[in-house]
Amino acid sequence: MLYNLHTHSASNNHDVFEVVNRYPYEVIDVPYFSTGIHPWHIDIDRADEHLAIIEQRLQLLNCLALGECGLDKRIDIPLNIQIEVFEKQLLLAKKYQKPVILHLVAAFQELIEIKNRLQPGVPMIVHGYSKNAQVAKQLLDNGFYLSFGKYLLRNPELSAVFAGVPKDCFFLETDTIEEGIAEVYAKAALARNMDIEVLKSIVQNNFKNIFKNG
């Protein structure tokens, strides 16, 4: 079994366990999903409505995580609004004890400060990790997990960063790329110089530790 932490399109492959992203305004048409307000898609006039939908969905057994949600300094939506919406979602994750799948762009210090202040007490996974080993260490030291996919395939330098992540702290994903999760696994096994069956066992264990339904 291959485990895909984060994708926007279901593969319908019975050999893949995947957490499919479904925004509050999307229907739930997959076995397992995550739901949240992406910072790109904040509609301040509908934020309360979307948060209410998220709260309802977090109570479903097949809703495995809150997300993707987070902060992005490279978009036009003011950061203070992003933080307000993000913090409200984190409090819901805390209330319903669901892991959080994070979209983070250029706002790692803010993320760490918010986590330390709100103390959500749930696993928080930075998806689509693409930064250097120093940022990775800072996030890992602050209790975050890292998920790799697109940039592991696209950026050769990221293999060394991935290889340095403790084996109980990483996940693999496809997000919106054309490649399947099997290709991500192949690249990840190569980066860590390990047999793919060993890698599959590691990711499966990580999934079962974080997602109680996994």
The residue to which tokens 């939506």 are assigned:
77
127 labelled ligand-binding: yes
Contact 148, 192 (CB under 8 A): no
103 labelled ligand-binding: yes
User: The tokens of 98 are what?
Assistant: 């669901």
Q: Report d(CA 164, CA 59) in Å as an integer.
A: 36
Q: Report d(CA 135, CA 111) in Å as an integer.
A: 12
Residues 6+ apart with CB under 8 A from 108: 131, 135, 138, 139
Sheet holding 63-72, edge to edge: 2-7, 16-21, 33-35, 63-72, 100-105, 124-126, 145-148, 170-172
175 labelled ligand-binding: yes
Of 117, 113, 136, 118, residue with least CA distance to 126: 136
Residues annotated within the binding site are 68, 103, 127, 175
Residues annotated within the binding site for a divalent metal cation are 68, 103, 127, 175
